[in-house]
Structures are given as C-alpha cells and as structure tokens.
Amino acid sequence: MTAPRLDDLTLPRRRSRLRRLKEVPVLPSLITLGNLFFGFLAIAKIADALRLAPPGAPFSAVVGYFEVAVVLVFVAMVFDALDGRVARMTGQATPFGAQLDSMADMVTFGVAPAFLAKVLIDLHAQADANRLLPLHPKLLYAAAAVYVVGAALRLARFNVESSVDEDDHSEFKGLPSPAAAAVICSLVALFCTRNDPNAELGQWLLGNHFDWIVTAMPVLLVVIGLLMVSRVPYPHALHTVMKGRHSMPFLAGVVVLIIVAAIEWQLVMAACTLGYVFWGLGLYAYRVVMRRRDDDDDGDDEAPVLPPRALPARN
C-alpha cells in the first residue's frame, strides 16, 4: 500500500468570518442621525463663538451662541428618546441601530457638553485674568476628559448589558449619558440668564452668585463623569412619572413645575436635572441601608447556638 502523495492532500479552506450588513432599519436610523446632526450643530455653534470672540471679550458678546448650542443639545435629546422607542414599536431593533445610537450619543452627550463647558470656563478665565478660576489649565482639560471618558465607558457598558426589552430600560446602572449632558447644559443655560432682565426668578434666587456655576463646573464634570460609570441606580424618569397612579399633590406639583418652566425654563431644567442626580444617590443609599438591615435580620432569625451540656459525672 502506497502512501498518499502530498498533492492528493486537500487542506480545508478557512472560511471568512466577516459578516456583511444586508439590511438596516431606515426610520430609527434617520431619527438617530437627527440626534447626531443636532449634536454636531451644537459643537459648531461653540466653535463659531470661539472664532468670533476676540481674546478677553465679555461673555455677553457670545452668550447667544451658547444659548443656541444648549437648545440644540436638548433637541437632540428628543430624537434620542424617540429612536429606541420607534425601533421597538416597529420591531426594527437591531445591533446596527444600537451601535449607531451609541456613536451619536457619544458626540451629542459626551463630546458636546464637555466642549461647551470647557469653552465656557476658558472664556471666563481669559476675561478676568484667571482670578475666578486660578486652576492650572491642564486640570481643566483633565476635568473635561474625565467626563468624555466616562460617557464612552457608560455607553459601551450599556450596549453590553442591555437588551431590547422594554423592562430593561426602566432603570439604569449609572447616570445615563443624556441626563449627564442635561445637567451640564442646563447649568450653562442658567448661567446665560445672568444679565437677562426677563429672568427675574433666577436672579432673585441666585443674586450675584452666578459665578459659582463656572467655578464649580470643573468639579461637576469630574463628578458627573464618575457617576456615569458607577453602579448607582437611576430610574427612568418618564417611566416613573407617566406610568402608574400618583397622588393629587404630585399632579399639582407637576402643573406648577410646567407653569414655571414656561416662564424660566433654564431654572426649572437646572433644578430638575440636579434633583435627578440626587434622586439616584438617595435611592442607592436607601438600598444599601435596607440591604444591611435585611442581613442583620437574617442573622437574628437563626437559631441560637447553645453551649454543650456537661455530661454527668460517673460515680
């Protein structure tokens, strides 16, 4: 019996593992791209403010650009809230849509708020010769970078841990990136009303303390960035408010909040977003306390261990 020749041996061909995308959901993708488009416009508006404002110019010269940028970010949030719901309602939730949504959120809720806050800090540092913010510029860059990195890690973890089920979106682990962007943008919008004669309520509450928003912005960027990658539970605000029944005082409070928002929406947005941050922190503290209490109760319910009885002495 002769051995087989080398030419007769056929090696198995290695199959390509590349997967080709054949179909994409059109309507949810268009809504997601609208989110990305308005986020890019917000960054472009802040870039226009940098281009048009001379060094040392007062903030009032470019305040309009910041107001438009903040509004564009909030408009992008509307698109972000719609794309996932439309995809689930139409049965078009796909991995492609999830990845596209994360990329759009990274630009709109990661890069845009950090860039907006960093430029706001830089403009005031130049205008007052760094008296308001005596920090080293590298620390300011680091604060904005922590926010951006936190947003990227938050979005990546969300893609891995979440599913398309509606119940999986009722509570979030860590501060959601749209809520984080809302905190930064609402405070910037509130700061823009510092010299607005129509913002009487905000000026009555803050008085001459608007500069604290700029002073606290670097610390806030770091804290918000860390909260995004934390395990602090944050309920879905719309799920909590819209679903279920609530008391009459709760309804009255919502009506009053809407009326005040129609007058000074900047103040209401800042109060609601900061309240949402503390809501999650309070819920986390409550669950930690209750978990420890349950552990203590379980330990008390166990049967006590009795000491061994002494054997009777033998005579």
- The 3-class secondary structure across 237-272, one letter per residue, is HHHHHHCCCCCHHHHHHHHHHHHHHHHCHHHHHHHH
Q: How far apart are CA 40 and CA 38, in angstroms?
A: 5
Could you give the C-alpha distances from 177 to 36, 56, 227, 256, in angstroms and in order? 14, 33, 10, 27
Q: How far apart are CA 174 and CA 168, in angstroms?
A: 14
Look up the pTM and report it. Answer: 0.82
Domain extent listing, the chain: 26-294
pLDDT of residue 9: 53
pLDDT of residue 315: 38
Could you give the C-alpha distances from 171 to 167, 177, 235, 280, in angstroms and in order? 8, 13, 4, 10
Q: How far apart are CA 182 and CA 244, in angstroms?
A: 25
Q: How far apart are CA 110 and CA 244, in angstroms?
A: 32
pLDDT of residue 247: 76
Q: Which region, left, alpha or beta, applies to residue 44 given φ > 0 means left and ψ of -120 to 50 means alpha?
A: alpha
Could you give the C-alpha distances from 66 to 55, 71, 230, 272, 284, in angstroms and in order? 17, 9, 29, 20, 34
Q: How far apart are CA 101 and CA 176, in angstroms?
A: 13
Q: How far apart are CA 301 and CA 8, in angstroms?
A: 75
CA-based torsion, 252, 253, 255, 259: positive or negative: positive
How many Å separate Cα 269 from the centre of its chain? 14
What are the 10-residue block averages of pLDDT along the chain, 315 residues in total? 55 58 81 95 93 76 92 95 85 85 95 94 66 69 94 91 62 91 95 84 82 90 95 82 73 82 87 93 90 72 52 41
Looking at residue 22, the DSSP 8-state letter turns out to be -
Buried b (16+ CB within 10 A) or exposed e, 4-14: eeeeeeeeeee
CA-based torsion, 262, 263, 266, 271: positive or negative: negative
